[in-house]
């Protein structure tokens, strides 16, 4: 099954440069807190891995405050706005809603954040998000599992 985040930073350090943390799956199934996610971000950065911190509106403020509290260098992190309601549902957040949340992330991080959108991203809607101010790219989940669909996404960026 899907088990995002079940290995350590040290195990990843020779294999990758980026790692997802704070995914809703981990928060739900593993009861991870904003404190846990901030600690993971610090550990990843110590191993020179860029944390991709997944956030949603119910805990957005709390998560960013905890990153500040634990003195995580925010400009070395990437934030992925992933509304739980959109993940794997085929119903992405509206571009207007994404724009609002991206602006809030930028405000809370003192404009230091790179921001992605994730949640039912598809070839049909990806440009609606990547053309928004403040959004640097997308985090693709389900659409990355089908090679033809994922290739269509890649082709849109060439």
Contact between 65 and 99 under an 8 Å Cβ cutoff? The reply is no
Catalytic residues: 23, 82
Residue 42 tokens read as 């610090």
């Amino acid at each position: 099954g899907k088990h995002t985040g079940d290995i350590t930073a040290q195990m990843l350090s020779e294999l990758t440069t980026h790692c997802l943390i704070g995914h809703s799956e981990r928060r739900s199934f593993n009861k991870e807190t904003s404190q846990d996610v901030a600690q993971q971000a610090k550990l990843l950065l110590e191993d020179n891995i860029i944390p991709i911190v997944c956030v949603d509106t119910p805990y957005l403020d709390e998560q960013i405050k905890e990153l500040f509290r634990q003195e995580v260098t925010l400009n070395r992190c990437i934030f992925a706005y992933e509304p739980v309601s959109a993940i794997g549902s085929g119903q992405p957040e509206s571009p207007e809603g994404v724009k609002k949340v991206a602006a809030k992330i930028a405000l809370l991080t003192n404009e230091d954040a790179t921001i992605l959108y994730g949640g039912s991203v598809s070839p049909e809607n990806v440009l609606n998000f990547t053309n928004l101010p403040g959004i640097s790219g997308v985090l693709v989940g389900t659409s990355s599992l089908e090679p033809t669909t994922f290739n269509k996404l890649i082709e849109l960026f060439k």
